[in-house]
Amino acid sequence: MPESQEMRDVYGRRYRVGESDRELLGRSRNWMLWPAWAAMLAAGVQQYGFGAVVPVLVDTHPLADVVWALALWTVCQAATVFPAMWLRDRGRLDPAPAAVAGGVLCAIGLATLGHAGPLWTVYLGYSLLGGVGAGLVYAACVGTVVRWFPERVAAKVGVVSGAFAYGCVPFVIAAGLVLHTDNRMLFLDTAAAVVLVVIVVAGATLKDPPKHWWPADVEPQKWALDKARRRNQSAVRQFLPVEALRSGAAGPMFVAVALAAAVLLFDLAFLATFSGTHLALGALAACTGLGRVLVGRVSDRLGRRRTWYLSLLTGSAAQFLLLWAGTHDRPVALLLGACLAGLGTGCGYTLLVALVREYFGEESGLQNFGVLYSAKAFGGVLGVGVAGAVVTTHGYPVAFIAAGLVGLVGALLTRALTQPGRTRLLPTP
C-alpha cells in the first residue's frame, strides 16, 4: 500500500496526502464519477417523471389525492439522506450496498405506480419504498463523488445531480407518446426493469477513498491559499451539525431550500396537467439537469450565494411566464418558461453541497448537507400537497402566482446569508 500522511490547514481541514487515485483504484477516479452519474440518471425518474404519469392516474383518482403521492415521496426521499450520510461518515454504510438496495426500492416504486389500485398502495410502494430508495441512491452517489473530488465539489456534484433531473427526459417523452390507462402496467414495469438494472450494475461498483483523501497531483497548501483569494472562501472553522444549526446561517438556508423545492416540485407535479402536453415537463427536467452541470462553473466566478439568489429569482419570474403562456395558448413561451423554471429553482441542490462545505466546513460536510437537504421534505408538502388543494379550490392562476411569490421569498432569504464567523465588512461569497 502507498504511504500516506495527514495534514491540516489553518481552517482545521484535514488532508490525507501521498496516495494517488490510480494507486487506490488501479485506474482514474473518473471511474467513480460515471457509475454515480448512471445511477442518479435512473433514480431521478421517480421524481422528475411523476408528472408524466399524473394524467393517467387522475382517470381513476382525484388530482389532489394523486399529487400527495409525490409529496410523501419527497418527504421519504429527503428524510433518508441525512441518516444515510451520518452512517456513511461513521463507516457503517458503504456506497455500493446502499446504492444496490436503493435501486431495488426505486424499481418497486415505479412498478407500484403501474399495478396499484387504491391510493394507499401507491403511498406505500411508490412514496415510502421508492422515496427511501431514491434517498439511498442520492446519498451514495453524491457522497462518493464529494470524496473522490474534494477540490472540485461544485463542478462534479453538478454532473451527477444534473443526471438526477435530465435522466427522466426519455421517460417523459415516451409517456407523452404511448402511455395511457390500458398500457400503464406494461409501460411502468418496463421502466422499473431498466431502472433496476442501471442502478444495481452501476451502484455495485461504487467505492469510497480513505477518509480525508486528497488527490496526489493537487498541492493542498497551494489550493487552500488560492481558494482564500476567491469569492468562495473556506469556512472559518469546522462545524458539527448541531453547531451549524446554531450558527444563524442554517435557518435562512433551510427555509430557502424548502421554498425553492416547493416551487420546483409544484411545477413537476402540475405542469403536464396544466399545459396539456409533456413537452413542457421534459423541457423543465432537461434544463434543470443542464443547469446543475453549468451552475458550478458560474458560481465559481459569481460566488455561490449570489448565483443561488439569481437562480431563485429566475425561477420565481418563470412561474408568471408559465401562467401567462398556459392561459393564452402560447406554446413557445410555455417552453421558455419551463426552461427558465428548471434553470432557476432546480440548481439549488448543486450549490447547496458546495455552499454547506464553505459555510460549515468539510469535516461534517455530508452530514450538514443532509440536514439542510431535509428541508426538501417541507417543500414537498407545501409545493405538492398544499398546492394540490389550492389548485382544486382556487384554480391554477392562484397556484402559479403563489408559487412565484414563494420563490421570491426564497431568493430574498439568500441575500441575508453570511458565513458564520465573518461579517459584512469582510469579503463573503
Residue 211 lies in a domain: yes
Residue 429 lies in a domain: no
Q: pLDDT tens digits, residue range 79-111?
A: 999 999 999 988 899 999 999 999 999 999 999
Put simply, whether the predicted model's pTM sits higher than 0.75 gets the answer yes
Q: Whole-number mean pLDDT of the chain?
A: 90
Q: pLDDT tens digits, residue range 143-199?
A: 999 999 998 888 899 999 999 999 999 999 999 899 998 899 999 999 999 999 999
Q: Please say if the pLDDT value at position 427 is more than 70.
A: no
**Greater pLDDT, 400 or 176:** 400
Give percent of the chain above pLDDT 90. 67
Residue 424 lies in a domain: no
Domain that holds residue 378: 5-415
Q: Please say if the pLDDT value at position 243 is more than 60.
A: yes
Q: How far apart are CA 200 and CA 190, in angstroms?
A: 16
Q: How far apart are CA 405 and CA 351, in angstroms?
A: 22
Rounded alpha-carbon distances, angstroms, from residue 325 to 113, 263, 342, 343, 390:
30, 17, 16, 18, 20
Model confidence at 229, in pLDDT bands (50, 70, 90)?
low
Give percent of the chain above pLDDT 70. 96
Map grid coordinates 451502484 to a residue: 203
Q: Please say if the pLDDT value at position 395 is more than 60.
A: yes
Element spanning 15, H or E: strand 14-17
pLDDT of residue 425: 41
Average pLDDT over residues 419-423: 76
Q: How far apart are CA 324 and CA 326, in angstroms?
A: 6
Residue 425 lies in a domain: no
Residue 304 lies in a domain: yes
Residue 421 lies in a domain: no
pLDDT of residue 230: 65
Q: Please say if the pLDDT value at position 426 is more than 60.
A: no
Q: pLDDT tens digits, residue range 190-219?
A: 999 999 999 999 999 999 999 889 998 888
CA 8 to chain centre: 31
How many domains would you assign to the chain?
1
Q: pLDDT tens digits, residue range 19-35?
A: 889 999 999 999 999 99
Closest CA to 212 of 353, 365, 15, 20: 15
Q: Please say if the pLDDT value at position 428 is more than 50.
A: no
Residue 28 lies in a domain: yes
CATH number, position 324: 1.20.1250.20
Residue 373 lies in a domain: yes
Q: pLDDT tens digits, residue range 264-292?
A: 999 999 998 998 888 999 999 999 998 88
Q: Please say if the pLDDT value at position 402 is more than 60.
A: yes
